[in-house]
Chains A and B, each alone.
Chain A
Amino acid sequence: MSTRETTTREDQNSKVFEARGITKVYEMGEVQVQALRGVDLDLYSGELVVLLGASGSGKSTLLNILGGLDTATSGHVTYHGKDLTEATERELTSYRRSHIGFVFQFYNLIPSLTARENVSVVTEIAAEPMRPEEALAIVGLGDRVNHFPAQLSGGEQQRVAIARAIAKNPAVLLCDEPTGALDSATGLLVLNALERVNRELGTTTVVITHNAVIADMADRVIHLSDGLITEITSNQDKKTPSQLQW
C-alpha cells in the first residue's frame, strides 16, 4: 500500500473490507481456471472505488466474493472484522440482506413489479430502509414510480436498480458494469446517480468497469489483470460524471 494512499484516507480510516491472499479457482470440467491469484485489498468507509480491468481479469470474481455471492478458494476476507470466508450460506444471505446493495449490468429487475415495488421488495425486508419514493427521487425517477420495467428505458431501469440497491441504506454498494449495457449519455445519468449516492449518503461504493474513463470519478482505482492487482492509484482531483466523456 502506498503512502500516497494512506494520506487520502486520513479522515476515513474505518476499514470496511480487508482481503488477504484471496485466490479463486474454478473447476471447468477438467480444466482449472485461476480467476484470482492472491489478492490483498482494503476498502474504506465512504470511498468510491473503481475496479478496472479487461474481461477475464478477475474483477467480477473479486466483487462477488466481497458481496458474499461467492467464496474464496483460499485467503480471508473480513467485513468490519467479521470473516466472510468462514460464513455459512445463511449468514451470507443475511449479510447481503443487511449490508450490501448490488447493481448489475443487466439490471435484474423483477418485470412483474413496478419501479416502486421493485424497490419495496427490498425495503420490506430491510431493517432501516428509506421510503421507496425517496430512493427513486435520489436517482431522478420520482415521476416514474408506477411504471413497470417494460415501460422504462435501459438507463431508467438501471437507475431503478440503483434505487433498489440504496433504499435499504446499505453500508456498501457493489456495481458490476452498471453502464455496460447502456449508451454513453444514459450511462452518464447512471453514474451521476451513483456519485450522488456516494456523496450524499456516504455509501462505500465499488464500481466494476472495463471503461477507463469511468475511473476518473473514483477516489481510488484498482487495476486488475490476470487475477492480480497490478496497481492502485488515487485520484487527487476526481471528476464528476458530467465531466466524463466516451
Chain B
Amino acid sequence: MKGQALAIALVISSGIATFVMSISTLDSLRYTQAAYYNNYRFAEVFISLKRAPESLKGSVAAIPGVQRVATRVKAAVTIDIDKFPDPVTGLLISIPDKGEPLLNGLYLREGRLVESGRDNEVLVNDAFARVHGLSPGDKLHVTVNGKRKALTIVGIALTPEYIYQIQPGSMLPDFERYGILWMGRTPFGAAYDMEGAFNDLALTLAPGAEIKDVIDALDTIMRPYGGLGAYGRKDQVSNRYLSEEFRMLGKMATIFPVIFLGVSAFLLNVFVSRLISTQREVIAVLKAFGYSNLAIGLHYLKLVLLIVLLGTVGGVLAGIRLGQGLSRMYMDFYRFPFIEYVLSPYVVGAAVIVSAAAAVGGTILALRRAALLPPAEAMRPEPPVSYRETIIERLGLKGFFSQPGRMIIRHIERRPLKSLLTITGIAFSCAIMMAGTFFGDAVDYMIDVQFGLSQREDISLTFIEPTSGKAVHELQSLRGVDYVEAYRSVPVRLRYRHHEYRTAIEGVEPDGDLQRLLDTSLKPIELPPAGIVMTDYLGKILGAGPGDILTVEVLEGSRPTLQVPVAALVSQYIGVSAYMQLSALNRLMREGSAISGLYLATDSRYKNDIYESIKKMPRVAGTIARKDAIKNFYVTMGKQILVFAFYMSIFAATIAFGVVYNSARIALSERSRELASLRVLGFTRGEISFILLGELALLTLVAIPLGFVIGRILCAYMINSLQTDLFRIPLVLDAGTYALAATVVLVSACISALIVRRKLDNLDLVAVLKIKE
C-alpha cells in the first residue's frame, strides 16, 4: 500500500510538475517579454526607406494616433573579425550622440554608450560579442558604404528589437556571422552620407490608435522617399519569431501536462476504487457501529487527499525548480537582460483542482458502491466471482492453454473494462514517450529535405541592393565555384480576399539545380513560366489555391500593386515563401535582369579563398553557408524543442512506471489469496509469478502496439498545432522512436514485475488461508 501510494503520488507529481513547469515558464517568458518591451521602449510601427530629410519627422509625428517618433540611420555593413575566416555581415544602427535612444532602447550589459564628438565608437550586441569573445576596448573593422573604418567597442548591449537577429536572405538567426552594431548619429551620418537625413523610422502609438490607419498614413508620407512599406510589431522579424516560438511552447506546455494530469487522474481513480473495495468489510463494520456513509466517506477522502497533497506539494516544488531552470535557459537563449520568474496562483490552483477532483471523483464512485451494501451482507465473504470460458477458448483453442494460462485470459476477459483501462494507461505512457522523442527524427528529416533536396547550395549571398545579372559571371569565375544560380527577392504584401501576408517573392531559375521546389511527394517540380508558386502553408494562410488571383503589393522600388495568379502549391517545411520564375518576376517588376543574390555550388577545398573574395565585394550584404545554416537550425529551433521533449520523456517514463507498477500491485492485491492457495498446493514461486506477471505481460504487449497508434495520433496532433511561419515539422517517426518508447515501457514493466515478484516471494501462506475474500 505504501509503495502504491508513493507510485501514485509520483505520477501526480510528474503531472503537476510538468504542468507547473510549462505554464510558469511560459508565463515568465511572456511577462519578461512584455516587461522588456515596455522598459526598453520597443516601437510599435517600423518603416525603412531610401532617404528622407529629418524635417519629415514632424509630418509623421502629426499623424493622428502617433505618440513618439524616432528617426534612425541603418546600414548593412561587413565586419572583419580577426581569425574568423567566414564573411561576417551586420546591421549598423544610429543612436543619439548623447544619451539613450528614444525608442528601441539599449540594455547595457557592459561598458557605456557612445560619447558625442568621437567618431570611432561602437556598441555591439551581446550575442555577437559573446560568440566572438568581444569586450569593450576591442577593435573592429567595419566597411560602411564601401569605406573601411576602424572602430572601438565601448559597450555591449541588448535590445528588444533584435532578440532574434536574422540576416537578410536567411530564415534563421546566426549569432556568429551576423551582428548588430550601434554608432552615434553624427559620425554615422557623415560616413554614410546621411547628414540631416534618415532612412529608418520607428514610432509608438497613442492609446486607442488604430495601427492600420497609422501604417497607411505613414506609407503615404514615405512613398516619395522610397518607403519599403510600414509594418507593425506583428511583422517585425524578431518579434514575429519570438511570438511564434512562444505560441509553440504554449502548445507544448498545454498538450503534455493535460495528458499527464489525465493519466495521473485515471491512476488515482483506479487506485481509490480498488482500495475501497478491499476495505469492504471494514466499511461494513464501521457502518454496523453506526458510522454514517458521510463519515466513512470523509475518512477515505482524507487518505486520498493526503496522497494528492503529497503529490501536489512534490509536483509544485519540482515544477517551480524546473520552471526556474528552464526560464533561465530561455533567458540565456533569447538574451533577455533579465527574467522575471512568474508563478501565478491559478497555475498551482488548477493543478491541485484537477488532481483533487480526479481523486475525489474516484473515491465517491467507489464509496457509493461500498455504501450501497447493507452492513450484514458486506461482512459476509464475497461470493466467488463469476467467470466463464473466454471467446478464445470457445473458439476451440482451449487445449492450447494450461490452467494458469486459462486463469490469465479469463481474468482479463472477466473485467474487460479494467483490463482496457490498464492497457490504455500503459499505451498512453508509450504514446507520450513517442511524442517526447520523435522530434529529433522529424527535425533530422526536415533538415534532410530542406537542405538536401530543396536548398542545395553550399553558399548563398545577398546583395545590399538589387544588382545587375552580370554578378553571376563575376562569381562564376572564382576558383572553386562550380556553379552559380541567381535569384531575385522582392518584399511584398500578398492579399487574397481579406487575408494578407507579408513575405517575399523569390524569383528563381526555372530549371535550377541548387534551389528546387518540391511537390508533396518530394519530387522537384518545374516552375511554370508565369504566376506564383506558393508553399502550401502560405496557401492555407491566404486561403488561396491554384487559379486564384492574388493582389501583390510590392514593397520596394516604385511599389506597384499587381494582380498575379497562383500557379501551383508546393510543400516546404521551412519558411513561408512565394516563388516565380526569375525572368517572369523581372518582367513583372519592369526591370532588367536584376538579381538580389546568388546561390553557389562550391568546392569545399577553396572555401576560404571564396570567402576572401566575397568579403572584398562591397555589395554583399550577407553570406550563408548551408552547413552553418543547418547548425544554426539545431542550435536555435531544435534546442528548445529538444530540451522540452527531453523533460517530457523523463516524465513519460515515470508515468509508464506508475501505470505498470500500479496495475501489478492491484493485480497482486486482488489475487494474492488465489496465488497463496496455489503456493499451498505446491506451486513454486516461479509458477505463481507466471500467472500474475503473465497477465501483466500480456496487457503490456497488447498496450504497446496500441500505444504506437495513439502515439502517432498524438504526434500528428502536436505537429499540426506546432505549425508556424518558421517551420512545419513533418510527421516522421522512425523505428528508433517506436523502439525507445517500447523499451521504456518494457523496462518499467520489468522493474514493476521485479518489485511485485519480491512481494510474491514473501506471500504469507498461512494468513491468506484464514482470510475470507
Contact = CB atoms under 8 A, between A and B. Distances in A.
Contacts of A69: 680, 765-766
A40 interface: no
B682 A113 contact: no
A150 B383 contact: yes
Nearest to A126: B682
Interface stretch (B171-179, B293-301, B398-406): B398-406
A176 B773 CA distance: 17
Contacts of B606: none
Contacts of B414: 112
Interface in A73-98: 90, 93-94, 96-98
B417 interface: no
Interface stretch (B25-33, B190-198, B385-393, B449-457): B385-393
Given A98-B682, A148-B387, A112 B407 contact: yes
Given A96-B681, A125-B683, A113 B384 contact: no
Interface in A125-154: 125, 148-151
Contacts of B673: 108
A54 interface: no
Contacts of B681: 96-97, 102, 121-122, 164
B687 interface: yes
A117 interface: yes
Contacts of A121: 403-404, 678, 681
Contacts of A125: 682-683, 687
Contact of A64 (B387, B404, B684, B766): B766
Contacts of B68: none
Contacts of B678: 110, 121
A113 B406 contact: yes
B212 interface: no
B682 A111 contact: no
A70 interface: yes
Interface in B728-773: 765-766, 769-770, 772-773
Nearest to A64: B766
A209 interface: no
A93, A100, A157, most chain B CB atoms within 10 A:
A93
B684 A93 contact: yes
A93 B388 CA distance: 30
A169 interface: no
A108 B769 contact: yes
A120 interface: yes
A44 interface: no
The range of chain A's interface size is: 35 or more
B673, B678, B685, B769, most chain A CB atoms within 10 A:
B769
B444 interface: no
Interface string B668-694: 000001100111111111010000000
B626 interface: no
B769 A176 contact: yes
Contact of B406 (A100, A102, A117, A150): A117
Contact of A93 (B679, B766, B772): B679
Contacts of A100: 682
Given A124-B403, A176-B769, A93 B387 contact: no
B679 A111 contact: no
A113 B411 CA distance: 10
Interface in B263-295: none
A93 B386 CA distance: 30
A60, A98, A106, most chain B CB atoms within 10 A:
A106
Nearest to B674: A110
Contacts of B403: 110, 113, 117, 120-121, 124
A64 B676 CA distance: 14
A3 B407 CA distance: 51
Contacts of A108: 673-674, 677, 680, 769
Contact of B411 (A64, A105, A112): A112
Interface string B498-513: 0000000000000000
B769 A106 contact: yes
B406 A112 contact: yes
B493 interface: no
A70 B680 CA distance: 11
B402 A110 contact: no
A94 B386 contact: no
Contacts of A64: 766
Nearest to A149: B384
Given A93-B679, A108-B677, A150 B386 contact: yes
Contacts of A122: 681-682
Contacts of B766: 64, 69-70
B410 interface: yes
A181 to B, nearest CB: 8
A109 interface: yes
Contacts of A111: 384-387, 674
Nearest to A121: B403
B381 interface: yes
A97 B683 contact: yes
Nearest to A97: B682
Nearest to A148: B387
Contacts of A176: 769
Contacts of A106: 381, 769, 772-773
A154 to B, nearest CB: 10
Nearest to B769: A104
A112, A120, A124, A176, most chain B CB atoms within 10 A:
A112
Contacts of A149: 384
A148 B388 contact: yes
Interface of B: 381, 383-388, 402-404, 406-407, 410-411, 414, 673-674, 677-685, 687, 765-766, 769-770, 772-773
The 4 closest A-B pairs by CB, nearest first: A97-B682, A108-B677, A149-B384, A121-B403
25 contacts: A67-B680, A69-B680, A70-B766, A90-B684, A93-B683, A97-B681, A97-B682, A97-B683, A106-B769, A106-B773, A108-B769, A109-B677, A110-B403, A110-B674, A111-B384, A111-B386, A112-B387, A112-B414, A121-B678, A121-B681, A148-B387, A148-B388, A150-B384, A150-B385, A176-B769
Given A110-B678, A121-B403, A125-B683, 8 more contacts: A64-B766, A102-B680, A102-B681, A111-B386, A112-B410, A113-B403, A148-B384, A148-B387
